[in-house]
Amino acid sequence: MEVLLSLSIALFAGLMMTRVCKPLGLPAVTGYLVAGILVGPYCLGQLGVEGLGFISNENVEAFKILSEAALGFIAFTIGNEFRLSTLKHIGKKAVIIAIFGAVAATILVDGALIGLSFLMPDVIDIPTALTLGAIASATAPAATLMVVRQYKAKGPVTQMLLPVVAIDDAVGLIVFAVSLGAANAINVGHMDVLSIAVEPLAEIILSIAAGAVFGALLSFTEKFFHSRSKRLSITVAYVLMGVAISKLKFNIGPVHCGFSSLLLLMMMGTVFCNMCDFSEELMDRLDRWTGPLFALFFVLSGAELQLDIFTQWTMVLVGVVYIIFRCLGKYYGAGISAKITHCEPTVQKYLGITLFPQAGVALGMTLIAQTTLPEQGATITNITLFSVMIYELVGPLLTKIALTKAGEIKPEERKSSRGVLHH
């Protein structure tokens, strides 16, 4: 009973908070995140009543399977933006912009935090700085997608944004793997070629290959069903299967292998949308079905934020430096590369701002860092959580403002918008 009550209260609180955010001009995503904080361990959870909010961080963690499923559907949905007709027009530009944005953010954060490590050696060291720099490359596809969906944004910036976010995270995974290997090498005193180069490359290749196979199988299987509800059901089954498969870990000789759920599901969505004739209609139905799941995902994300970080002023200081230099890297990296590739003026000016949100992928990277760098794990986690809290509360609003100034969110859409559930 407590589990169902917690979920119902979380969903209800999220929906009610979107009503508060609407007249303030804030995106629904922000409402869900604030609702998560309110029903989380630091607010309603303080009452200690099972089922009435989340009483501890462990209690929130128990619902992680919902967050993993939601991220799977989000990645699958973004993969559907990679239609060949679109890629022929923006594919090369999106790759260049994503690489520039990710690498620029990493370089600036690395430089700033390494400099800070000389001033505050007791708070941050070089392995920590390198790891955080790599985490800075990741962007949050979930928050970005939700804002685009809520306000029905359309135009050059939006068209470029979703592919860039998808590629950005693929680039981020490579940068993170290399940086984490270098950080670990500094800790142990020798370079490990397998962890720095081979294993990240193997993960990327395996994830893309597995996603392509699942996408082709999904497209083939759909042909056996003619009912819309059955086609929707088989799509849901494949996405959940993809999320489950991405959790597998195995060894190929001395190489430790696994899958990236983000890359696997994105590739599945890409292959499916290009092979299935009725994929657009099916995706429209899937968007409506996943509405409550996405809402719960963001409420749970808000509940995970650890507010006691604000009591550690040194962590706040490092977090502020991290946030500022990551934003500068994303903004100028995207802007300069968009100019080099001769994108529209609105893309050059506003795309970088829409890349500020950061959440799930970054948090996933911190979990890996905790295992690989146990000495620095706590510091990396606290700084990442602090930055995610700021990015997730402010990022969606900045994305909305950028798309509005770019002319891709129309006034009538802002007035008629009903959020992701069209409520």
- Per residue in 85-114, pLDDT (tens digit) is 766 666 788 888 888 888 999 999 999 989
Assess whether pLDDT exceeds 50 at residue 61.
yes
Model pLDDT, residue 422: 41
Mean pLDDT of 409-421: 53
Concatenated DSSP letters of 359-396:
-HHHHHHHHHHHHH-TTTHHHHHHHHHHHHHHHHHHHH
Residue 344 DSSP SS3: coil
* Lowest mean pLDDT, pick from 47-61, 249-263, 328-342: 249-263
Model pLDDT, residue 196: 61
Q: Give, in order, the Cα–Cα distances in Å from 252 to each of 81, 176, 222, 258, 369.
A: 33, 21, 33, 10, 22
- CA end-to-end span of the chain: 27
Assess whether pLDDT exceeds 50 at residue 416.
no
Alpha-carbon span 409 to 412, nearest angstrom: 8
> What angle (nearest 5°) sits at the alpha carbon of residue 257, between those of residues 251 and 263?
155
Assess whether pLDDT exceeds 60 at residue 24.
yes
Assess whether pLDDT exceeds 70 at residue 412.
no
Residue type for position 326? R
Span 270-303, pLDDT tens digits: 899 888 888 888 888 888 888 888 888 888 877 8
Alpha-carbon span 21 to 40, nearest angstrom: 19
Assess whether pLDDT exceeds 50 at residue 314.
yes
Alpha-carbon span 95 to 76, nearest angstrom: 19
Can you tell me which residue has the tokens 């042909």? 223
Mean pLDDT of 68-87: 78
Mean pLDDT of 327-343: 89
Q: Say what the pTM is.
A: 0.74
Span 260-278, pLDDT tens digits: 777 788 889 989 988 888 8
Mean pLDDT of 229-242: 92
Asked whether the beta carbons of 27 and 150 are under 8 A apart, the reply is: yes
* Closest of 352, 343, 349, 361 to residue 395, by C-alpha: 352
* Cα-trace Rg, the chain: 21
Model pLDDT, residue 209: 92
pLDDT confidence bin for 47, thresholds 50/70/90: confident
Alpha-carbon span 413 to 395, nearest angstrom: 20
CB half-sphere exposure, 390, CA atoms < 13 A: 17
Higher pLDDT, 368 or 103: 103
Span 115-141, pLDDT tens digits: 888 888 887 888 888 888 888 888 876
In sequence order, the 6+-apart residues with CB closer than 8 A to the CB of 387 are: 319, 322, 323, 326, 358, 362
Model pLDDT, residue 419: 43
Mean pLDDT of 382-389: 78
pLDDT confidence bin for 195, thresholds 50/70/90: low
Mean pLDDT of 170-190: 74
Span 203-223, pLDDT tens digits: 778 888 999 999 999 999 988
Mean pLDDT of 59-84: 81
Model pLDDT, residue 377: 75
Span 344-358, pLDDT tens digits: 888 888 888 888 887
Assess whether pLDDT exceeds 50 at residue 64.
yes
Q: Give, in order, the Cα–Cα distances in Å from 132 to each of 93, 103, 278, 354, 387.
A: 27, 13, 42, 20, 11
pLDDT confidence bin for 408, thresholds 50/70/90: confident
Alpha-carbon span 377 to 47, nearest angstrom: 30
* Lowest mean pLDDT, pick from 90-104, 146-160, 280-294, 364-378: 364-378
Residue 181 DSSP SS3: helix
Concatenated DSSP letters of 36-58:
HHHHSTTTGGGG--TBSB--SHH
Neighbours of 256 (CB within 10 A): 15
Mean pLDDT of 387-401: 80
Burial code (b: 16+ CB inside 10 Å, e: under 16) for 51-73 equals: bebbbeeebbeebeebbbbbbbb
Average of per-residue pLDDT values in the chain: 81
Model pLDDT, residue 423: 39
Dihedral sign, CA of 112, 116, 118, 119?
positive
pLDDT confidence bin for 253, thresholds 50/70/90: confident
Model pLDDT, residue 217: 95
Model pLDDT, residue 235: 92
26 beta partners: none
Containing H/E element for 222? Answer: helix 199-222
DSSP type of residue 342: T
